């Protein structure tokens, strides 16, 4: 195996009494799409929340390109090239597409201590480009997110993650509440990550979706990894058995 893009080593997470992650170690290669599956409460969200900086591990290590890194908030993760698309929507409905794309990472004309005047022209231009890049057809970057369909919103979230040149793209149940056509679009997107040399971690409880677009399947149960196979070397029955 080549040098992993991102690895976790002996990760533990306790929530006052609940041992949600029990000594989880995983390697993710560049240009690999990994499907993470498991029942509700298996610890999938906990694992990716730790990678995306939404929560901190109780114990364990995260390595990127072989180097240990410290991820203590979402900003750290983003700066390391980890972008996350959440199962609930990580968009502010009362704000425009352009503003949503750049929340927390606004291009500034000038600034003092990180605060300053936004370059709104650049925001408009780049958001039009970012949306076009993911084949989403929206006419104006000034439309409010609240006016978009669930699939369009997820599309904007993907456009945002792509725009910031991520190395690792985490999708936590991104197809929940989506129509079939929109779901297929997301699955196509996960497949396309490979060509762009981006590590994809795709969480779904729909096993068919995972078989459709992932190179490798990791199954979790009760906070542990119970199966880790190439998609070609396993089948749905085997996975159903371990869950």
Partner 1 sequence: MKRLVKIYMEKPELAALVLLIVLIIVFQIRSDGVFLNANNLRGILGILPEIGLMVIGVTILMICGEFDLSVGSVFAVMPMTMAVLMADGTPFYLAFLAGMAVCAAIGFVNGYVTIKFNIPSFITTLGMLFIARSLTIVISGGFPPLLPNDLPNWLFTVFVGPGDLFRMSFIWFVIIALAASLMMSRTNFGNWVRATGGFLPAAQAMGIPTARVKITCFMLCSMLAGFAGMIQVLRLGSPLPSIGEGWELQAVAAAVIGGTALSGGIGAVAGGVIGAILIRVIDNGLVLSQVDANWFKFAIGFLTIFAVVANSWLGKRAKAIKVET
Ligand X SMILES: Nc1ncnc2c1ncn2[C@@H]1O[C@H](COP(=O)(O)OP(=O)(O)O)[C@@H](O)[C@H]1O
Which residues in this chain contact Mg ion in the complex, by CB under 5 A? 45
- Shortest Å distance, C-beta 41 to partner 1: 20
CA 6 to chain centroid, in Å, comes to 13
Question: Considering CB distances under 5 to 8 angstroms, the limit depending on partner class, which of ligand X, partner 1, Mg ion, none binds residue 127?
Answer: none
Question: What three-state secondary structure class fits 100?
Answer: helix
38 binds ligand X (CB under 6 A): yes
The angle, 0 to 180 degrees and rounded to 10, between the axes of the packed helices 150-163 and 120-133 is: 110
C-alpha 42/C-alpha 14 separation (Å) is 13
DSSP string, 36-103: EE--TTSSHHHHHHHHTTSS--SEEEEEETTEEE---SHHHHHHTTEEEE-SS--S-TTSBHHHHHTT
Binding interface with partner 1 (CB under 8 A):
52-54, 73-75, 78, 84, 86, 88-95, 99, 102-106, 108, 111, 114-118, 120, 138-140, 143, 147-148, 152
Q: Which is nearer to Mg ion, 45 or 154 (CB)?
A: 45
Candidate segments 44-52, 114-122, 128-136, 161-169, binder of ligand X by CB under 6 A: 44-52
Report which DSSP code applies to 143.
S
Question: Considering CB distances under 5 to 8 angstroms, the limit depending on partner class, which of partner 1, Mg ion, ligand X, none binds residue 236?
Answer: none
222 binds ligand X (CB under 6 A): no
Q: One symbol per residue from 11 to 30: x for binding ligand X (CB under 6 A), - otherwise; what is it?
A: ----x--x-x----------
- Shortest Å distance, C-beta 232 to Mg ion: 27
| β-bridge partners, 217 | 35, 229
C-alpha 180/C-alpha 173 separation (Å) is 14
Stretch (H or E) spanning 117: strand 115-118
Question: Considering CB distances under 5 to 8 angstroms, the limit depending on partner class, which of Mg ion, ligand X, partner 1, none binds residue 165?
Answer: none
Q: What residue ranges bind ligand X (CB under 6 A)?
A: 15, 18, 20, 38, 40-46
């Amino acid at each position: 195996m080549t040098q992993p893009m991102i690895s976790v080593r002996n990760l533990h997470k306790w929530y006052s009494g609940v041992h949600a992650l029990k000594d989880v170690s995983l390697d993710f290669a560049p240009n690999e799409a990994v499907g993470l599956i498991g029942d509700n409460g298996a610890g999938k969200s906990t694992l990716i929340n730790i990678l995306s900086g939404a929560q901190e591990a109780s114990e364990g290590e995260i390595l990127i390109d072989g180097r240990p890194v410290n991820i203590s908030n979402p900003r750290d993760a983003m700066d390391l090239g980890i972008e996350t698309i959440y199962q609930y929507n990580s968009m502010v409905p009362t704000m425009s597409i352009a503003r949503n794309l750049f929340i927390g990472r606004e291009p500034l004309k000038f600034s003092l201590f990180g605060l300053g005047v936004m370059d709104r022209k650049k925001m408009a231009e780049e958001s039009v480009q970012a949306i076009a890049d993911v084949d989403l057809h929206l006419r104006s970057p000034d439309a409010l997110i609240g006016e978009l369909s669930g699939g369009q919103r997820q599309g904007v979230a993907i456009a945002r993650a792509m725009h910031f040149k991520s190395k690792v793209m985490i999708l936590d149940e991104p197809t929940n509440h989506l129509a079939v056509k929109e779901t297929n679009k997301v699955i196509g997107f996960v497949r396309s990550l490979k060509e762009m040399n981006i590590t994809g971690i795709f969480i779904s409880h729909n096993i068919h979706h995972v078989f459709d677009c992932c190179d490798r399947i990791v199954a979790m149960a009760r906070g542990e990894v119970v199966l880790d196979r190439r998609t070609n070397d396993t089948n749905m029955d085997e996975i159903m058995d371990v869950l």
